Amino acid sequence: MNVKLLKPILIALLFSAVTVHAESSPQVKQVAGYFLQPVGNLKVTALFDGELGLPRSDLLGISSVKANQLFEENFVPVDEHNQVVTDFSAYLVQTPTQNILVDAGTAKCFGPSLGHVPENLKKAGLQPEQIDTILITHAHPDHLCGITLDGKMVYPNAKVYLAKADVDYWTSAQNEAKASDFFKPLFKMTREALKPYQQAGQLIAFSKASFDVPNVELISTHGHTEGHSSYLIDGKNGQKFLGLGDVVHYAAVQFPYTEASYKPDTDAKRAIAVRKNIFEQAYQNHWWIGAAHVAFPGIGHIGKNVHGYQWIPAQYRPEQ
C-alpha cells in the first residue's frame, strides 16, 4: 500500500472516532447553580460552590463493602480517581429584614472546581454588598474561605459569625505546629479569611451564651470541629430552616448509618451522637434542611428509613 495514502486515512479514521465519541458523551454546560425554596416567610436560595471527590477511605465505622454497595445503589457519581463526587453549597436566607448567608464557599482554597458562590449569588439576583449577616458553620476552608478573595472582603457590609471555639483553635500557632500535614494548611487559610473582617471589627466570635442574631437560634453541633454550629432560622408559623453544616458528608451512607463517620472529624464519637440527635430533631419537627455536602441543592427534609434515616429532597416548583 502507498504509505503516502496511509496518513490521510489514519487521520480520517481518528477524526471519525473522535466524532463518534463526542456524539456519545455530550459536553454539558450546566444551568446556573442556584435553587429557590420558600420556607414560611423566608426565601431560601441554595448557592452551588462546586464539587470535589471525597476519598472512600475517609469513611469510617462501616465496612467498605457495605459503603460501596450504598454508593452504587444510590447511583452516586464517582470521579476519575474513583472518589465519591460531593457537592459544596452555601445558603442565602432572606428574612423580611435580613440577607443572611449560611457559609460562604471555598473561594480559591480548594482549586478551580469550586469557588462559585459569589457568581451564583449574583445570578440569583443579589449583590455581595447586600449581604448583612454571614453565619459560618465551622472554620474549614470550604465554608469560610469564600468570605475573602485576594485579601479583600467579598461581603464588605456583613458581620461574620463564627464560634469562638473555632476561631481560637484554627488561628492558633501552637495548634498549627502540632497539626498533621492534612490540617496544617488550614490554619493560614483561616487567618487570611478572617483578617479583613477582624480588622474592620466585623467578626463576631460567639459563645453559646453570647450568640444573638434576630430570627436565628444557634444549635451547637460540635464534633466535626470544636465549635461546629448549625443555625435554625425562623420562617414563622412553625416553618423553620436549618443550616446544617457538616453533620453529614456521605449522604448515601450516613443517613441510614449515622454511626459511619468522616475521618477529618475532630471528635468522631461526638460527631456521631450529634448526627443522630439532630436528624431525630429535624425529623420530629419537620424542619427544612440546607445540607452543605448533600447533592445540590441540598435542600429537603429528613425522613425515617428501614435502617436509620433518609434524605427527602425538595421538589422543584416554578411558583409557590
* Residue ranges binding Zn ion (CB under 5 A): 142, 246
Which of 142/166 has CB closer to Zn ion?
142
HEC assignment per residue over 234-248: ECCCCCEEEECCCCC
CB-side neighbour CA atoms (13 Å) of 8: 4
Question: Least separation, in Å, of the C-beta of 142 and Zn ion?
Answer: 4
Distance in angstroms (rounded) separating the CA atoms of residues 175 and 183: 10
Distance in angstroms (rounded) separating the CA atoms of residues 99 and 216: 12
Give start and end residues of each alpha helix (H) in the chain: 3-24, 64-73, 117-123, 141-144, 164-170, 173-178, 184-199, 251-254, 268-285
Question: Least separation, in Å, of the C-beta of 103 and Zn ion?
Answer: 8
Distance in angstroms (rounded) separating the CA atoms of residues 2 and 9: 11
Neighbour-count burial for 229-257, b at 16+ CB within 10 Å, e otherwise: bbbbbbbeeebbbbbbbbbbbbbbbbbbb
Which of 138/240 has CB closer to Zn ion?
138
Question: Least separation, in Å, of the C-beta of 268 and Zn ion?
Answer: 16
Question: Least separation, in Å, of the C-beta of 86 and Zn ion?
Answer: 9
Which of 176/246 has CB closer to Zn ion?
246
Question: Least separation, in Å, of the C-beta of 143 and Zn ion?
Answer: 6
Which of 49/234 has CB closer to Zn ion?
49
Question: Least separation, in Å, of the C-beta of 138 and Zn ion?
Answer: 8
